[in-house]
Amino acid sequence: MDPPEHDRIRRMLSRDFMVKSIDALRPRIQKIVDAALADLLAGPQPADLVQNFALPIPSAVIARLLGVPYQDHDFFQTNGRRMLTRSSTLEQSAQAVVDLREYIGELARRRREKPGDDVLSRLVVERELTGELDHEDVKSTGLLLLVAGHETTANMIALSVAALLRHPDQMAALRADPSLLTGAVEELLRFLSVVHSGVPRVALEDVEIAGVTIREDEGVIASIPAANWDPAQFASPGELDILRDARRHVAFGFGIHQCLGQPLARAELEIALRTLLLRVPGLRLADGAEFAPEKAVYGLHRLPVVW
């Protein structure tokens, strides 16, 4: 979506996703993380950290924020995954979009009668009923937030844990000084660059980049991992170094479409990692990790752990 339509819709959401609003959510995020950890620790070992920790946390948080019942998580997680994986056929991805849109549309219709304290209710009451947004836009926006809000962060949590367990010196440094976590999250975002499919764009006019001319109407894919692993920007980019200043990374994109949910993603990552590292000092990788290179957002299918 381009301006001015994009600016208009993005502005409608900015209040709910700004740093101040997300800071107010932190106690609720902590509760969700505590509950996920309690479930993980109560279960058998080895446990799958993806299904029992990394995925439930952002799913529960975005469900609560958006006003989607968390008990429907199997439905929205499965369809979200179908939308975003190359192992789906085009028909399967398209069907997943149709099913999720219908689901959000039904929730939105119910909010007309009975609004709650959530983003979907605010979109319906403050925007749809006032005529600023039509019902189709409410569905698209709800769908984008629901899917972007859990799949990306879930992959980041699981991959971050795997990366730190493979770098025990850095894990030890974080445990000794948890104030390093804020910087470590930026380095993990850079190092892992989970939106590895890159961001597709179409040139609006001829433009020259690094001596290459891209003509008007040509498509380009801007590669986030290539930018985040550019040795001209980050020395030894293939090394994880939680002490480096990685704040210039573009893991959340760049420009007007830069991730709306980044304050939320940062808060979730920080709280989930801090809680897991400090409360489970014996956490170790077990055999059987399954990476998921076919997903548009890089991640893991399974991450077996013991403690």
CA distance 265 to 272: 10
Contacts of 92 (CB under 8 A, 6+ apart): 82
Interface size with ligand HEM, residues (CB under 6 A): 22
Alpha helices by DSSP H, 43-72: 49, 56-66
Instruction: Closer to ligand HEM by CB, 128 or 186: give it.
Output: 186
Q: Which of residues 271-290 bind ligand HEM (CB under 6 A)?
A: none
- Given a contact cutoff of 8 angstroms between Cβ atoms, the answer to whether 69 and 120 are in contact is no
- Given a contact cutoff of 8 angstroms between Cβ atoms, the answer to whether 100 and 79 are in contact is yes
Q: Which of 41, 125, 173, 199 binds ligand HEM (CB under 6 A)?
A: 199
Beta-ladder partners of 209: 212
CA distance 5 to 12: 11
CA distance 300 to 220: 27
The DSSP output letter for 130 is: T
CB of 195: closest distance to ligand HEM in angstroms? 4
Angle at which helices 56-66 and 262-279 pack, to 10 degrees? 140
Instruction: Closer to ligand HEM by CB, 80 or 261: give it.
Output: 261
Q: Which region among 176-184, 192-200, 239-247, 298-306 touches ligand HEM (by CB under 6 A)?
A: 192-200
Kindly write out the interface string for residues 46-85 of this chain, putting x where it contacts ligand HEM by CB under 6 A and - elsewhere.
----------------x-----------------------
CB of 261: closest distance to ligand HEM in angstroms? 2
Q: Which of residues 229-258 bind ligand HEM (CB under 6 A)?
A: 251-253, 257
Q: Which of residues 138-167 bind ligand HEM (CB under 6 A)?
A: 144-145, 148-149, 152-153, 156
Kindly write out the interface string for residues 13-52 of this chain, putting x where it contacts ligand HEM by CB under 6 A and - elsewhere.
----------------------------------------
The DSSP output letter for 203 is: -
Nearest one of 170, 204, 168 to 185, comparing CA atoms: 170
The residues that touch ligand HEM, with contacts defined as CB under 6 A, are: 10, 62, 144-145, 148-149, 152-153, 156, 194-195, 199, 224, 251-253, 257, 259-261, 264-265
